[in-house]
DNA sequence: ACGTTCATGTCAAGAGTTTGACACACAGCG
DNA sequence: CGCTGTGTGTCAAACTCTTGACATGAACGT
């Protein structure tokens, strides 16, 4: 069965994408849980680090979750003393979120752990193909972003 | 900040993977909902079509969800008359699942809709790069599967 | 033959997420 | 100025998925 696997059929591409993302999510959870972080929490801190002072709604959009889910996520991180919300609210009732110094340190450790996992994932691939993979994924994402 | 974006940093690759998969999931949901199917239900039917007579547990592994989640998913599909479970149980208390003719027809329509979405996703990419993407994703998945 | 081990299927409880709804705040336009 | 539209933040309910646990059935080793 499966006489011709070479030509990637459209549906299989989606299955491959979900498969790779699911396994990565699994392995990330395994290495982040000992650090006291869930994958969602790590993603939240990561996006907040690379775009400081962002709002909760914008953060939710970048993480592809609803505002409500990001809100409860941020409440948990705030209880842990990892994020802080500005007291005064900005132009559109928005309140800027920021990472605490403790979060920067925790994120540093988490980034190392995640890098190790991703490094294991792309271990069999040469650097040129890793760059190709990143370029192709970005192209796929952007092709469906405004639709 | 971010002086050199060309070399894909490990964490960004994970973000790209999740981003592409999330947007694809979103667009698939938009085109499958009118057909009365959720993305999870479609994935279940898809895996069941390409491996008929499979068990619920194996189906759960292929879809990267727990047995329990797949169980409730199958109960819903059974209520809709899309899947049927064998009455007699096999070697290890297992009961083979199968698609009904009505499901085959529904899956045909769903596959067309999904193919259209995936086609839109890979539209800017030549065929050679689509094959490359499939190969790289499979390599990443397999590299983390047994860890 | 017997006990151990493993895998399936299922129940119950918990966590995480989505959907729908509302109040509030600013921008744009009559 | 007032009205509409858009965006943010938040509450509540519904849904989905996960985790933990248990009973059943078959394979394996002794």
Indicate whether B19 belongs to any domain: no
Measured CA to CA, the distance from residue A25 to residue B25 in angstroms comes to: 16
The whole-number pLDDT of residue B90 equals 72
Report the 10 Å Cβ neighbour count for A38. Answer: 15
The answer to whether A54 and A45 have CB atoms below 8 angstroms apart is: no
Those residues of chain A that have pLDDT short of 70 are 1-7
Inter-chain contact A140–B133, Cβ cutoff 8 Å?
Answer: yes
Which domain covers residue B75, as residue numbers?
25-145
Indicate whether B95 belongs to any domain: yes
pLDDT tens column, B47-87: 999 999 999 999 999 999 999 999 999 999 999 999 999 98
Query: Which DSSP string corresponds to A16-62?
Result: HHHHHHHHHHHHHHHHHGGGT--HHHHHHHHHHHHSTT--HHHHHHH
CB contacts of A17 in chain B (<8 Å) are 17, 20-21, 24, 137
3-state SS, one letter per residue, for B75-136: HHHHHCCCEEECCCCCCCCCCCEEECHHHHHHHHHHHHHHHHHHHHHCCCCCHHHHHHHHHH
Inter-chain contact B139–A125, Cβ cutoff 8 Å?
Answer: yes
Indicate whether A16 belongs to any domain: no
Indicate whether B85 belongs to any domain: yes
Quick one: how far is CA B9 from the chain centroid?
Answer: 27
Quick one: how far is CA A20 from the chain centroid?
Answer: 14
The percentage of residues in chain A with a pLDDT greater than 90, rounded to a whole number, is: 86
Rounded to a whole number, what is the distance in Å from the CA of A9 to chain B's nearest CA?
A: 8
Indicate whether A11 belongs to any domain: no
Q: How many domains does chain A have?
A: 1
Quote the DSSP letter at residue B69: H
Report the 10 Å Cβ neighbour count for B64. Answer: 15
Inter-chain contact A134–B18, Cβ cutoff 8 Å?
Answer: no
- CATH, residue A103: 1.10.10.10
A2 to each of A8, B51, B105, how far by Cα in Å?
Answer: 12, 11, 21
Count of CB pairs separated by less than 8 Å, A with B: 171
Residue A12's closest chain B neighbor by CA? B134
Tell how strand B83-85 and strand A97-99 pair up. Answer: unpaired
The whole-number pLDDT of residue B4 equals 52
Indicate whether B6 belongs to any domain: no
Q: How far: A41 CA to D13 C1' (Å)?
A: 24
Indicate whether A9 belongs to any domain: no
Those residues of chain B that have pLDDT short of 50 are 1-3
pLDDT tens column, A18-54: 999 999 999 999 999 999 999 999 999 999 999 999 9
Residue A134's closest chain B neighbor by CA? B13
Measured CA to CA, the distance from residue A126 to residue A7 in angstroms comes to: 22
B133 to each of A13, A140, B7, B20, how far by Cα in Å?
Answer: 8, 10, 18, 12
The whole-number pLDDT of residue B2 equals 47
Inter-chain contact A21–B24, Cβ cutoff 8 Å?
Answer: no
Indicate whether A113 belongs to any domain: yes
């Amino acid at each position: 069965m499966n006489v011709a696997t070479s030509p990637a059929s459209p549906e299989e591409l989606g299955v491959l994408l979900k498969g790779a993302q699911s396994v990565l999510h699994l392995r990330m959870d395994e290495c982040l849980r000992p650090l006291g972080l869930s994958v969602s929490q790590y993603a939240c801190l990561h996006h907040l680090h690379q775009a400081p002072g962002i709002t909760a709604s914008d953060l939710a959009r970048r993480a592809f979750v609803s505002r409500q889910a990001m809100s409860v996520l941020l409440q948990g991180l705030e209880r842990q003393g990892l994020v802080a919300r500005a007291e005064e609210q900005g132009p559109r009732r928005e309140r800027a979120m920021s990472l605490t110094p403790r979060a920067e340190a925790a994120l540093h450790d988490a980034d190392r752990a995640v890098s190790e996992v991703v490094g294991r994932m792309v271990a069999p691939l040469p650097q040129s193909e890793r760059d190709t993979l990143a370029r192709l994924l970005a192209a796929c994402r952007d092709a469906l972003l405004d639709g």
